[in-house]
């Protein structure tokens, strides 16, 4: 039992290290750093008017989406984020699943929007990387931006 608990502690520590690094890359608007958190090929399922299923073979295919999110975060004045809920599931010594609810915050410390994501992480070269994500971030982000934009003149 002790070794299982130790393994779980290591898993949780490694996943939190991954999330801190991934979050920091978003907070510094660093596209290249964000892309290093993905393992290719990967798969993204995103909610919108229609659910988008996106198999991505390489970093250049995800770059446009990451840059769009960062541009909208700049427009909103996102300064940081915080985990509202996190559940980590050990699937094997090399794979973890995580269910995350995350909130983005402006410079005044006010919540802007939150989203939920389910991530499949794979450990490669001693660190976790994203193999798959299912999330509802885009409609929530776009809705927040539209709410805050002034009405057309």
Q: For the chain, what are the domain ranges?
A: 2-148
- Dihedral Cα 137, 41, 58, 142, nearest 10 deg: -10
Q: How many Å apart are CA 103 and CA 116, to the nearest integer? A: 9
pLDDT confidence of residue 142 = 95
pLDDT given at position 1: 36
Is the predicted pLDDT of residue 153 greater than 80, yes or no?
A: no
- Predicted model pTM: 0.89
Q: Give me the pLDDT at residue 127, please.
A: 94
Per-residue pLDDT of 60-83, as tens digits, reads: 999 999 999 999 999 999 999 999
Instruction: Give the pLDDT band of residue 6 (cuts 50, 70, 90).
Output: very low
Specify whether the CB–CB gap between 112 and 84 falls below 8 A.
Answer: no
Per-residue confidence band for 151, with pLDDT thresholds at 50, 70 and 90: confident
CATH 3.40.50.300 holds for 2-148: no
Q: Sorting pLDDT into bands at 50, 70 and 90, what band is 2?
A: very low
Task: Tell me what pLDDT residue 3 has.
Answer: 38
In the predicted model, is pLDDT for residue 49 greater than 90?
Answer: no
Residue 4 pLDDT grade (very low, low, confident, very high; cuts 50, 70, 90): very low
Q: From 54, 72, 62, select the one nearest 31 (Cα to Cα).
A: 62
Q: Which helix (H) or strand (E) holds 115?
A: strand 111-124
Backbone angles phi, psi at 94, to 5 degrees: -115, -5
pLDDT at position 96: 96
Say how far apart CA 73 and CA 68 lie, in whole Å: 9
């Amino acid at each position: 039992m002790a070794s299982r608990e130790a393994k779980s502690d290591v898993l949780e520590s490694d996943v939190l290290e991954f999330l801190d690094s991934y979050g920091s890359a978003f907070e510094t608007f660093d596209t290249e750093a964000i892309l290093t958190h993905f393992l290719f090929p990967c798969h993204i399922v995103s909610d919108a008017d229609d659910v988008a299923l996106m198999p991505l073979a390489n970093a250049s295919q995800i770059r446009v989406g990451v840059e769009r999110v960062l541009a909208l975060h700049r427009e909103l004045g996102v300064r940081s984020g915080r985990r509202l809920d996190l559940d980590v599931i050990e699937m094997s010594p090399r794979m973890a699943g995580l269910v995350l609810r995350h909130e983005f915050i402006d410079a005044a410390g006010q919540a802007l929007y939150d989203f939920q994501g389910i991530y499949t992480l794979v450990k490669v070269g001693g660190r976790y990387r994203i193999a798959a994500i299912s999330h509802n971030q885009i409609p929530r982000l776009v809705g927040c931006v539209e709410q805050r934009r002034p009405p057309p003149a």
